[in-house]
Structure 1
Amino acid sequence: MGMFMRGWSAVYYREILILRKRIFRQIASMSVMPLLYIVAFGYGLGKDVTVAGTTYMAFLLPGLAAMSSMIQGFNIASEINITRFYWRVFEEFQAAPLRSIAYVTAEVLYGITRAILGVTIITGLGWMFGIRLSYNFYFWSAMTLNAFLFASLAVALAMLVRSHADQALLVNFVITPMGFLGGTFFPVEKMPSWVQSILYYLPITHAARAMRDAAMGKVPDTESYVILAAMGALCFVCALMCVGMAKE
């Protein structure tokens, strides 16, 4: 247990040191996308539009928070690839007495940390634009589960890809479509029933739904949390297996 604690804490501490060194660039980078969406979609298209019984601005912000937690959690894959392909840091982890579960835990926690930072920025931007929502326990729980899921998926896929081009393909064909189709910008209920059936299996759909309900002061459906937790646990196990194979 002691070796596990020292192992994951050392890897996590390294990631936090790197994040702290470039924190201002990260904050600026995390702010650009939601700011553009709030201005373009919130003000440009939907300032006077109501969706699901609320203003479109209030509807949009929790969706952006869900999408940000997904993107920030998954973005650790690029950093892991850099440590593998260029800095050769992963080779040092392989040589060290570091268990796979300690490494995966540290990287996933780092992904969650990035997601918390990104969502905090979005809620701050919302406050600046006068969007007053409830950021309660249910909201942050759904966000954490979503970040846990995609950070675990990022670790698994980072062990499988062979180049940055492969990584870009995953983002373009998996993460980006998921972000736009999972109820971020529009109610999933407005889609045809057969499309809703497909979107039901996207984790971002459940994250956006739970976070939006919580932000509106409602009690989210427990089913969304169960699905996110189950998918996250599956991705975490896959990450452990992929890291184990990469070490061999």
Structure 2
Amino acid sequence: MKVVVIGGTGLIGSKLVGKLNEHGHEAVAAAPNTGVNTLTGEGLAEVLKDASVVVDVSNSPSWEDEAVMNFFRTSTANLLEAEAEAGVTHHVALSVVGTDRLQESGYFRAKQAQEDLIKASGMPYSIVHATQFFEFIKGIADLSTDGDTVRLSPARIQPIYSDDVAAAVGRTAVGTPVNGVVEVAGPDVFQLDELIRKALAAKNDPRAVVTDPHAPYSGAELQENTLLPGPDAQIAETKLSDWFALQP
């Protein structure tokens, strides 16, 4: 089976390409640095030739509200059109648990627009909603830092290892389209402020974490369960403590 991975040279994409190839599929990494640009359409027709599945794990280079909306609307529309012309039979997209509950955020409004385009396209599809990756925990702290203080909500979060996300997306890609959403999350639930406090302590980072129920997350205020998956989510195996133990 030929599977084209849009964003195939990034964190999830590169892992996904490797996993699919290991299982005997023909996985092709497609990204601007391989000559494929979904914003302009460059290289799409060529890379999609004979493809059965397209997996979109790409992300906007800018998170500014207008730019990120333009990226997801334009790239998704171009991709779906090219897939229809190429005879692709399954579109898979990676999105985020809680997207529909985070619409105060420009980034998540853009992700919702992406999902809406996919659902309305008529293309058989599967959307994988993942929780936040372990690898982005430091980024959450940095975005929430003012001086030496990190201000964060105590909302609950269930982070996941990127390897487990890639595995879940791969299983979905080679399966039957669900024409709906598949959720995947890590095995442990934390309060967001406590998670970042734990992560900073592990790195001997001296920043102080302050609990603030109104602290924004990507521009949106969180309720207790905003970032948590539903009861039918696939639960990955890798614990945060195991991942920490592997870090230099």
Q: With structure 1 as the length reference, what TM-score do the two structures score?
A: 0.28
Bigger helix fraction = 1
Q: With structure 2 as the length reference, what TM-score do the two structures score?
A: 0.28
